[in-house]
């Protein structure tokens, strides 16, 4: 005789599993107490009409373009005060720290890029544990064969060589953004552009990887692209004009104390200049680009 299985045990198991899952959910913050919040900041509206391309429209917040307007500073201060009060009423003073800890716990302790073999070296980047910015490093690649590996072991080939530490620059200036980063073909020099103000105006530094010293840092701001010549003695770089349009190409000789030499100027205001080197570093390409066209020139990199 067949007996029908009672569904209650299965239902109890499902209920207990659901309760266990719910018990593991993080505690939710308390809803904010709106009675204790300051008044919600409201930006003023100033009548202003914008006209372009045969059309006109109203922009009552155009006055915010003037960053020196005291009303703008007062509005931002009121918005920050309201945000602080809202967060405090929602979860107390520790809400920010708790949210930051939860987000930090979801991040991997360290991030490492795949090694890029080039010549006798393997180049890679990683973010050290607890740090905000990456580190550019390299290691010698082991030689082939058993004898080569033994000689590599004796020469301490696994020792890491730090080329550029973003964190050291950020500690000095409070902020850093590395734009372009180029190793010379002979692996001796590192050229990179950096911004330490947040204004996206990059300066250039060239580091001698043997002496660990910066050997060239021109006063120009607004440097965009870099390219090494095949002899590793000539570095090409572009400089922006007052409209932040890269339009000039300079060449710097590493063994010379002279400043960079201007080798190309793009006079067409519709063109932006970008430079690269071919994979064999035999030629430098000078590219003048618009939104609808491009023109490319070649030079052998010897100046």
What phi and psi values does residue 57 have, to the nearest 5 degrees?
A: -150, 160
Instruction: Determine the pLDDT at residue 299.
Output: 85
Task: For residue range 198-256, list pLDDT tens digits in order.
Answer: 888 999 999 999 999 999 998 888 999 999 999 999 999 999 999 999 999 999 998 88
For 100, the 3-state DSSP assignment is helix
Domain parsing of the chain, residue ranges:
108-162, 175-299
pTM attached to this predicted model? 0.66
Q: Shortest CA distance to 200 belongs to which of 181, 224, 219?
A: 224
Residue 177 has pLDDT above 60, yes or no: yes
Architecture of domain 175-299: 7 Propeller (2.130)
Report the C-alpha gap between 205 and 221 in whole angstroms: 11
Report the C-alpha gap between 83 and 100 in whole angstroms: 16
pLDDT > 90 fraction of the chain, expressed in percent and rounded? 54
Query: How big, in percent rounded to 5, are the helix, strand and coil portions of the chain?
Result: 25, 35, 45
User: Residues 134, 125: contact at Cβ < 8 Å?
Assistant: yes
Question: Token digits for 133?
Answer: 């910015």
Q: Give the position of tokens 């302790």.
A: 109
What does the mean pLDDT of the chain come to? 83
Report the C-alpha gap between 39 and 146 in whole angstroms: 75
84: pLDDT confidence band, cut at 50, 70 and 90? confident
Report the C-alpha gap between 45 and 193 in whole angstroms: 41
Lowest-pLDDT range of 42-51, 67-76, 101-110:
101-110
């Amino acid at each position: 005789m067949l007996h029908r299985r009672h569904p209650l045990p299965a239902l109890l198991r499902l209920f207990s599993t659901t309760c266990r899952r719910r018990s593991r959910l993080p505690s939710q913050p308390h809803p904010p107490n709106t009675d204790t919040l300051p008044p919600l900041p409201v930006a003023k509206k100033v009548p202003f009409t914008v006209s372009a391309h045969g059309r006109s429209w109203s922009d009552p917040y155009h006055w915010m373009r003037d960053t020196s307007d005291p009303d703008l500073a007062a509005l931002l201060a009121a918005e920050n005060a309201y945000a602080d009060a809202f967060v405090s009423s929602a979860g107390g003073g520790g809400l920010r720290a708790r949210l930051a800890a939860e987000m930090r716990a979801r991040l991997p302790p360290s991030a490492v890029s795949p090694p890029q073999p080039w010549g006798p070296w393997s180049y890679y980047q990683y973010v050290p544990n607890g740090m905000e910015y990456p580190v550019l490093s390299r290691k010698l690649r082991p030689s082939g064969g058993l004898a080569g590996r033994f000689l590599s072991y004796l020469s301490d080939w696994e020792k890491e060589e730090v080329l550029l530490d973003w964190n050291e620059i950020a500690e000095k200036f409070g902020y850093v953004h590395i734009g372009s980063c180029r190793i010379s073909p002979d692996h001796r020099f590192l050229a990179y552009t950096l911004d330490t103000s947040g204004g996206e105006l990059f300066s250039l530094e060239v580091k001698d990887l043997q002496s660990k010293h910066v050997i060239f840092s021109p006063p120009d701001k607004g440097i965009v692209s870099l390219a090494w010549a095949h002899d590793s003695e000539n570095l090409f770089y572009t400089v922006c004009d007052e409209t932040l349009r890269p339009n000039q190409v300079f060449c710097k000789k590493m063994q010379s104390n002279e400043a960079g030499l201007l080798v190309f100027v793009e006079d067409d205001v519709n063109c932006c200049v970008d430079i690269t080197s071919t994979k064999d570093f035999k030629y430098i390409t000078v590219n003048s680009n618009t939104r609808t066209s491009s023109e490319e020139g070649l030079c052998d990199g010897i100046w």
